[in-house]
Structure 1
């Protein structure tokens, strides 16, 4: 059964993973573009991109430069830290993602009933978490699953704060990827500060 599941995962990857380039982007450039579209404001740096791609900062900078030369991304100074830059998608980059070959697989997953999607999500999350631990690799994930996210209040008074960066986070940004993610079950939850 495990071999059959593995074969199915490889077949699903064939729908969006490709050698060479599609629409003028390499696999790594597609990965970077997808990541930047889903990354929170703390995770749009060359270092965070390198961490996500599992490559050096120099290689990530080359990928970012390729995306920039194609008009899909720009570099902007980070207001809080003038020494750092943020990698931001352009309008053209956002439009380009609408042609992402991964969208066909996403649409098939959306067609599954909620219970099947939930089981598949949970099972794949456990498998990938085990692989990350085995390789001593850190991965990006969404803030709502992170031990550093603190939620306070209710209704209109509900607000969120990242304890890692010691900064407020908008509720809409809690579903974005963070390269500094630590799972709640990885080290236990941080106590909420007063």
Structure 2
């Protein structure tokens, strides 16, 4: 059964790994665009993008340059540190994601029963988490499962803080990807 599951995962990869380009972007450029759309404000840097893509900072900067040349992304100075650059999607970039080749797979997952989706997510998270531990690598994930996220208060007084960056974080941003994620064990 493990071989069958592995084969099914490989078949699903056809929606995001491909030769050449789709809609003018390579699979790596699509991956970068998706990441930037889901990354929190701390994780939209060239270094974080390189870490997510598993490539060098130079290669990630080249991918970002392609996205910028197509008007899908812009580089902005970070308000707290003028030496740092944030990679931000443009409105055109957000609209471009409506044609993401991975949307067909997403739609099939959305069609699943909520219980099945939750079970699939949790199972894949455990499998991939085990691979990360075995390879001693970090991965981006959402803040809600991170040891650095501190939640205080209730109702209107509920607020969140990232202890890694020592900054407040909006509740809506706790569901975004963070390249500095450390899972709770």
Please report the TM-score for the alignment, with normalisation by the length of structure 1.
0.94
Residue 192 of structure 1 corresponds to: none
Counterparts of 1:131-146 in structure 2 under 5 Å? 131-146=131-146
Structure 2 CA distance for aligned equivalents of residues 54 and 17 of structure 1: 15
Residue 158 of structure 2 corresponds to: 158
Gaps of 5+ in 2: none
Task: Please say if 1:176 is aligned against 2:176.
Answer: yes
Counterparts of 1:96-111 in structure 2 under 5 Å? 96-111=96-111
Q: Deviations over 1:126-178 (max 9, x none)?
A: 11111112222210000001000000000100000000000000000000000
Count how many residue pairs are aligned between Structure 1 and Structure 2: 185
Structure 2 CA distance for aligned equivalents of residues 18 and 158 of structure 1: 44
Counterparts of 1:32-111 in structure 2 under 5 Å? 32-111=32-111
Q: Extract structure 1 runs of 4+ deviating beyond 4 A.
A: none
Task: Please say if 1:149 is aligned against 2:149.
Answer: yes
State whether residues 142 and 178 of structure 2, in contact with CA within 8 Å, keep that contact through their aligned partners in structure 1. Answer: yes
Please report the TM-score for the alignment, with normalisation by the length of structure 2.
0.98
Gaps of 5+ in 1: 186-194
State whether residues 16 and 27 of structure 2, in contact with CA within 8 Å, keep that contact through their aligned partners in structure 1. Answer: no
SS of residue in 2 equivalent to 1:12: helix
